[in-house]
A and B are shown apart, each in its own frame.
Chain A
Amino acid sequence: MYVSDIDMLSPRSLQECLYLLENEKASFRLLAGGTDAVVRMKEGKWQHDCWLNLKNIDELKFIAIEKDEIHIGPLTTHQEIISSPLLRDHADVLVQACREVGAAQMQNMGTIGGNIGTASPAGDTIPALFVLGAIIELTSLTGKRHICAEDFFIGPGKTVAFPNEIITKISFKIRGKHDLGIFQKLGPRKAQSISIVNVAISLSMKEGTRECTGGRIAFGSVGPVVLRAKKCEAMLALGELSPDMIANISRVAWKEVMPISDIRASASYRRDMASALLERGLYRLMKRWADDERKPF
């Protein structure tokens, strides 16, 4: 199969796209931003008959607020998320994560739905969606399913989505006034790099203290899928987040992650860095909390 033999269909509506997925006999690959898909095509990893170009489906590009929930369309680009004032106010951990995706060129092309669909363990938006408790909506011609972000990924490049389904919405609850979040990433280069380790943290603080009532921590690129550090999360609520406590939590993270060695880094380096990034992230959050820059997150 030559690259030039691959055909392309560009449905204009969601309904048309779902119909094609259900009824076409040719082997399909979905193409959203293409920042990952085209590279794989060039490497010869994907040998399919036809691209299904999603870029023309305007109904899947939106950022909306409905009561206490935020809805994001899967074809929203990273750039659109970064420049959205709504998300900057209510989900700054996601905005920070999108800012870390590639450089300007990638942010203009890459989409959040594509990042989820690619299901890379190193995907930058995925840990942010984990700590936001996002729900992913899958639609097929016959119905809809709502799946929690944590249950959506089952392995590197593998999700629970069936071939006839596409992601149609990402939604999460607006955070409270005393919630704050941060995204930290380590890559070989400041722009345009794939994460060696990344971590998203969200904390719910008790007003006027350094005590935390609960929080979520998700690590990327340290396991087959993005993982929640449940033991670290349990420690967050144990008492005041003093420097000692933060050091203890990050020591637990060292044990809790399960990285492998690959071309980007060795397992032991990843362990050390996961713990260091968590420690740095928590320090920065506490600093921000202390500085009284309490923006709703």
Chain B
Amino acid sequence: MKTIDFFINGTEISITCSPSKTLLDVLREDAGLTGSKECCGKGECGSCTVSLNGLPVCSCLLLAGQVHGQNIVTVEGIGTPENMDPIQQAFIDEGATQCGYCTPGLIVSARSYLNSIGHLPGLDEIKQALGGNLCRCTGYTKILKAVQTAAQRLLTFREL
């Protein structure tokens, strides 16, 4: 057992657990943030994606001991139901979700990607950026469309 201090969605949090527990389990069991989902557990599917210091990573492969002092943002930190992020709003508007299991991961990946660029991304670029996220319900057309819509809105917002 070890005490691990780190930031979740901007709030400092101190958790006592085994350092070999995955960050995903810490988030879901200890921090009560059940937005991030476990699916494959080996970094194939991206359902557990969280942002570590601004970069998307698989929280199922990150151990609690490794995040000491780091900054984690989960899907809960991107927006709330009352105050939604443009990317979340775009997912709703475009109907880019079906069962919803992959959606939190996709939103974190898409948000980190949009943060890292300053132009309107093409379809191929979005595909490349979301390559690590699998959706098994439906095609990716609406998801890609949603990311494009969000990028458009964010750029318009920035220009204002």
Contact = CB atoms under 8 A, between A and B. Distances in A.
**Count class of interface residues, chain A:** 20 to 34
Interface stretch (B19-27, B71-79, B142-150): B19-27
Contact of B42 (A6, A31, A39, A79): A39
Contact of A7 (B19, B46, B56): B19
A127 to B, nearest CB: 21
A108 B55 contact: yes
Nearest to A41: B20
A105 B57 contact: yes
B132 A8 contact: no
Interface stretch (B6-14, B58-66, B91-99, B152-160): B58-66
A104 interface: yes
Looking at A105, A190, A192, the one whose CB has the most chain B CB atoms below 10 A away is A105
Contact of B46 (A5, A34, A103, A190): A103
Nearest to B129: A104
B103 interface: no
Contacts of A3: 18, 20-21
B131 A38 contact: no
Contacts of A10: 65-66, 68
A141 interface: no
A109 B58 CA distance: 8
B43 interface: yes
A118 interface: no
Looking at B2, B22, B109, B132, the one whose CB has the most chain A CB atoms below 10 A away is B132
Contacts of A6: 18-20
B44 interface: yes
A31 to B, nearest CB: 7
A190 B130 CA distance: 11
Looking at B19, B56, B109, B112, the one whose CB has the most chain A CB atoms below 10 A away is B19
A39 B61 contact: yes
Interface string A49-75: 001010100000000000000000000
Contacts of B52: 108
Nearest to B2: A8
B101 interface: no
Contacts of B63: 8, 31, 34, 38, 51, 53
A61 to B, nearest CB: 13
B49 interface: yes
Contacts of B68: 10
A8 B18 CA distance: 9
A42 interface: yes
Nearest to B53: A108
A106 B56 CA distance: 9
Contacts of A104: 55-56, 109, 112-113, 129, 131-132
Contacts of A55: 66
Interface in A239-273: none
Contacts of A164: none
Nearest to A193: B44
8 contacts: A5-B20, A7-B2, A31-B66, A38-B22, A38-B61, A42-B42, A103-B131, A106-B58
Interface of B: 2, 18-22, 41-44, 46, 49, 52, 55-58, 60-63, 65-66, 68, 109, 112-113, 128-129, 131-133
Given A31-B63, A53-B66, 20 more contacts: A4-B21, A5-B18, A7-B20, A8-B19, A31-B66, A35-B61, A38-B22, A38-B63, A51-B19, A51-B20, A79-B55, A102-B43, A102-B132, A103-B132, A105-B132, A108-B56, A109-B58, A192-B44, A192-B46, A192-B131
Interface of A: 3-8, 10, 31, 34-35, 38-39, 41-42, 51, 53, 55, 79, 102-106, 108-109, 190-192
| In the A-B complex, the 10 residue pairs with the closest CB atoms | A103-B132, A191-B131, A8-B19, A8-B65, A6-B20, A4-B18, A103-B131, A108-B55, A105-B132, A39-B42
